[in-house]
Amino acid sequence: MPSGIGLQGRAGPAYLRCRGMGVDWVPARVRDGVDENVLEELLREQARIFTTAYVGEDLLTVRPDASLDEDEARKRMIRASDRLQEVLEVFWDWNPPWRVYVITANWRFPPEWRDAAWSGLSPAAAREALTRWRHWYEGCLSGRYEHYLRRLRTWELARHVAGLQKELVGKAVASLDTDNRKTRRPEFRKLRHQVFELPDPPRIPLPGSVPADGEDLPSPGQDEHWEMLVAHMKRLKEIYHPFSRAGGYGMMWPEWVKEEEPERADPWLEEFFQWLQPLVEEGYALYLW
């Protein structure tokens, strides 16, 4: 076990099956005699089933396996996990494991990489991923991928803006069937009309292929897309709070949905790299838990 990482508590396979608080990577050792190709195939199968059962429409660039419904996927998830535990020695009581959201929910990374991170990793895959993630992060900090990151930031922000507008319109539609003191007020009805008059959110394309070093180039329309999105976001925000207040909905505009770019530096990500480095050096796999 790498120095500086201890063990505490005990949680086993039964805990995996009832656990719903988050998704972690847990260190694991490949058992003696296990064929690497067999391990990789089992990890791919678990990831395919997991994304269908638990990630679903939150996937960014791919769609869940349409051949599986959620109930069947959850049953198969248990079987796939059991098979993986036959080839991996999983350290259930490793403290701490690490949330996969450090990659899957991190706007700095290409969406394809974020989708792919909903998976366990073989020792070789963990080594490759750490090298790739760390190189990309260093490039983000140094300004190596400015054009791509601008498109990525526009696309990511547009997703959140569209979600907020969908929530707002949903409340407005539901209020048509609600007759109370608040919905009868002229102020509320005027704001509801303004919600219905909002144009659709801008359709922002994916940022494109991940650029190699030295190949980060602007794409046609990337500045116009940003300006269009910011203008729409400002208009939506002007209506969002007054409508929520008038209807008593208590909706809050998320602080990260803003024109200003978040900090490029990510201390949590840097801690994750420090956690993963010794595991990679000692040949551990990561089990999706």
* Span 90-145, pLDDT tens digits: 999 898 899 999 999 999 999 999 999 999 999 999 999 999 999 999 999 999 99
Residue found under tokens 């990525």: 152
Residue found under tokens 């602080």: 255
Query: What is residue 121's predicted lDDT score, i.e. its pLDDT?
Result: 98
Query: What is residue 12's predicted lDDT score, i.e. its pLDDT?
Result: 31
* Span 36-86, pLDDT tens digits: 999 999 999 999 888 888 888 889 998 877 777 777 887 888 899 999 999
Cα–Cα distance measured from residue 119 to residue 76, given in angstroms and rounded to the nearest whole number: 15
Mean pLDDT, the chain, whole residue set: 90
Helices (H), the chain: 13-18, 36-50, 70-87, 101-104, 111-116, 123-142, 146-175, 186-197, 222-247, 267-281
Query: What is residue 137's predicted lDDT score, i.e. its pLDDT?
Result: 98
* Span 257-276, pLDDT tens digits: 999 988 899 999 999 999 99
- Give me the DSSP letters along 181-227: TTTTSHHHHHHHHHHHHPPPPP-PPP--SPPPTT-----TTHHHHHH
What's the predicted TM-score (pTM) here? 0.86
* Span 186-243, pLDDT tens digits: 999 999 999 999 999 999 999 999 999 999 999 999 999 999 999 999 999 999 999 9
- Phi and psi dihedrals of 160, rounded to 5? -70, -40
